[in-house]
Structures are given as C-alpha cells and as structure tokens.
Structure 1
Amino acid sequence: MIQVERTDFVSVPVTDLERSTRFYGETLGLTRVEGDGSWPEFRLGANVSLYLMDPRNIGREFEGPHTASIALRVPDVAEARARLEAAGVAFEGDTFDTGVCLMALFRDPDGNALMLHRRYVP
C-alpha cells in the first residue's frame, strides 16, 4: 500500500496549447501558475492544479478527451454559468439539481468534460 499525501495536479490532454491556455485562463478565469509555457498549469483552489498537456510533447498522440467531468467548485452555479454562456461557452442541457448539489456540464475546446459544481447540503 502507498501513502498518498495529496493530489498535486490533474492532467488535461489538449491539441492546441495556445487555444486551451486562453480558454482556461481568459474564459474560465483560472489563475496561471508561473512556469514553462509548454506546460501551462492553472491553480484550482489551495492544493490542486490543472495541467494542460499536449501528448505530442511526450511522444504520444491525442487519444481523445476526458469524458469524466472535472468538477469546478464555484460560489454560485447560475451566476458562473451565465458568465460563461455570455463568453460563448455552450452547456450540455440544463443545470442539474441532485438534491445535494448543483451541476452544470460543459466542455473545453478539445471536448474535455468540465462541470460547474456547488454542494448545498452539508
């Protein structure tokens, strides 16, 4: 058994680093972590980063987007969704209320699944 201290980053496969960097930085408004431009990284809260990776940089091919959503916790799902829709982001259906949380599903330019999320029941 191994001891995991925390998750450092989540890798997201992309085909166009410039386009994806603009989407995550400008459209979503995520804070970029300083570093090498060929490996763009964005802060997601206190201890996790989202790391854009062009698979060709490590000798692999883009095999398709992530299909399991990365849940981005926001203070207000409706407000965040409205801002992203105004910026041209298309959502997949209505905001879903599970009885515990709200979820609004969308995708990045390469089709990676993302979600605005807010739990409202402790």
Structure 2
Amino acid sequence: MMKITEIAFTCYPVTDLSRARRFYEEVLGLKESRFFGTGDTGFVEYDIGPGTLAIGNMAPDWKPSPGGGSVGLEVEDFEAAVARLRSSGCTFRLEPLETPVCHMAVVSDPDGNSITIHRRKPG
C-alpha cells in the first residue's frame, strides 16, 4: 500500500507565462521560489507554507480549465484579500460566502483557472 504523507505541490497550466506571473506575483503577492525553463516557457514554483503552488506552460496538451480543480489559498485577512482582488479587476466565479467553518470566494486567474481564497474560522 502506498502511504501519502503530504501534498507536495499543486500546478496550473497557463497559456501566457508572463501574464500569469503578473497575476500570481502582483495580485496574489506570491514570491517566486524556483523557475525551470527559459524565457516565457517554463514552470514557476511558489512555496507557501509546507506546500508549493506552481504554474507552467511546458506541456502543450495540458490546458487551463475553469471547471477543473482549485487550489485553496488560506489568507490572514479575508476581507482585505477580497478587496484586493476586486480592485485588481478579478472575475469572481463564486462571490464571498460564509460557511459554518470558513469564509471563501473563488476567482479566475487570467487563463480561467479557479483560485479559492479561504479563511478558516477560529476553533
């Protein structure tokens, strides 16, 4: 039996790496940890806590999809994060909502991939 110990990384396909980097680095505020490739073709990794979020365009058959998976990014201040996303012109696929355990919203990156902004409630 295989034993999974953690999620090593989540990766999204993108079509325009420079445009995607502007979103992930300028809008979301992520800092590049590693880059593999050359120029506008490659994979960019962003370490977040013990995990890694990556974006890339090196696999020609790997296409962005709004109906695919979604990474959930935990934020310190949910309201400030939503305000930042709105002021940056992000498209909300799911408007901010409150559940019994969290606050969440889903936005699209420039390629239509879904990004969940999330804040757990105390306890």
Q: Percent same amino acid among aligned pairs?
A: 35
Q: Which digits, 9 at most, give the CA deviation of each residue in 1:17-65, with x for residues without a partner?
A: 1111111011110121133352111122x211111121xx235252634
- C-alpha distance in structure 1 between counterparts of 2:6 and 2:101, whole Å: 25
Partner of 2:72: 71
- Contact 1:41/1:52 (8 A) holds in 2: yes
Cα RMSD over matched residues? 1.9
Instruction: Kindly state the Cα deviation for residue 88 of structure 1 after the two structures are TM-superposed.
Output: 1.6
2:47 pairs, out of 34, 43, 49, with: 43
Aligned-pair distance for 1:93?
Answer: 4.6
Q: Which portions of structure 1, spanning 4 or more consecutive aligned residues, are displaced by more than 6 angstroms?
A: none
Q: Which residue of 2 aligns with 1:109?
A: 110
Give the TM-score normalised by structure 1. 0.85
SS at match of 1:95: strand
| Number of equivalences | 119
**Alignment gaps of 5+ in structure 2:** none
> What is the CA distance between 1:75 and its match in structure 2?
1.1
Task: Decide which of 48, 52, 57 is 2:55's aligned counterpart.
Answer: 52
Q: 1:59/1:66 Cα in 2 relative to 1: closer, same or farther (>3 Å)?
A: same
Query: Which one has a larger percent strand, Structure 1 or Structure 2?
Result: 2
Paired AA for residue 52 in structure 2: S
